[in-house]
Amino acid sequence: MLTFLWELFARDFWLKLLSFALAVLIWMTINFAIKHEGTPVPSPMRYSSAERTFYNLRVVILTSAEDPRNFKVAPNEISVTVQGEPKAFEKLQSKDIRVLVDLTGVQAATDLRKRVEVSTPAGITQVRVEPEEVQVLVPPKS
């Protein structure tokens, strides 16, 4: 048994020692990189983006052309926070952001709540909408 262990250790000793040294070197390199890096590779959007909030944006009601009813929503003004590159904000105005409520196919209802849909220009992303839903006042069909 002792001879078996000695041969297991002694056979190709220098190759085993070299492999062990390389393994320790690789482990130390990775360990050093993890401790000194701190954070993963930053995304370009993370550091070069800006946020801006637009208040009192009017809600546009989208209905079918055959439906002559006058729908009302409450509240009729929404706040939208958007994010994008600072260059994209240079020409951005509140009229460039569309706040829609789709009411196509709505029949008579007493208490109807619909989600607000926001459309933004290219390079601008929606971060937050306040409120996310509006109450729809549906007049009876005539």
- Burial pattern 25-58, b for ≥16 Cβ within 10 A else e, equals eeeeeeeeeeeeeeeeeeeeeeeebeeeebeebe
Sign of CA dihedral 19, 24, 30, 33: negative
Helix (H, G, I), strand (E, B) or coil at 77: strand
Model pLDDT for residues 53-76, shown as the tens digit of each residue? 888 888 887 777 676 667 777 887
Q: What is the pLDDT of residue 133?
A: 83
Model pLDDT for residues 79-133, shown as the tens digit of each residue? 888 888 878 777 888 888 888 887 777 766 666 788 888 888 888 888 888 888 8
Helices and strands (DSSP H and E) totals, the chain: 4, 8
pLDDT at 77 over 90: no
Architecture label for domain 45-137: Beta Complex (2.170)
Largest Cα–Cα separation, the chain: 102
pLDDT range class, residue 12, cuts 50, 70, 90: confident
Domain residues of the chain, as ranges? Answer: 2-37, 45-137
Q: Which residue has the tokens 């041969």?
A: 7
Q: What is the mean pLDDT of the chain?
A: 79
Query: Cβ distance 80 to 54 under 8 Å?
Result: yes
